[in-house]
Amino acid sequence: MRRVVVFAGLSGAVMVGMGAYASHSGGGDEARAWLETGAQYGLWHSLALLGVAAIGARGSSSRWLTLAAIAFVAGIMLFSGTLFVRALSDFDWVSKATPLGGICFIAGWLLLAAHGATFRRD
């Protein structure tokens, strides 16, 4: 779970930076909205990753928990990442991957719920 914490910290820093950039940039309203949405979802899911790591550190690790972490990381990269690329470039095609990131976020929460429903401390 060490890598999860490292990713969460780096991701959180990027999200704050992108949110600040959105607040102070001279870009258009649409690009600013993409940056703000990407930063907000990314920051919330960076915190969710820290929660997953905290649960794992308490000795309650499971394959569901590992899969939840993977899903949250994929969601951050696909959802927030594609919104950032779209806002800062002319690469319109990346927005096709944004919904996949949202699906990864939902999957991460469901996998976390599965961990909670199935984990038994002996």
pLDDT digits (tens, 9 = 90+) for 93-122: 999 999 999 999 999 999 999 999 997 765
Residue 122 falls inside a structural domain: no
pTM of the shown model: 0.92
Residue 39 falls inside a structural domain: yes
* Burial (CB count within 10 angstroms: exposed 0-12, middle 13-18, buried 19+), residue 75: buried
Residue 79 falls inside a structural domain: yes
Percent of the chain residues past pLDDT 70, beyond the cut: 98
Residue 32 falls inside a structural domain: yes
Residue 60, CA atoms < 13 Å, CB-side half-sphere? 16
What range defines the domain where residue 46 resides? 2-117
Residue 83 falls inside a structural domain: yes
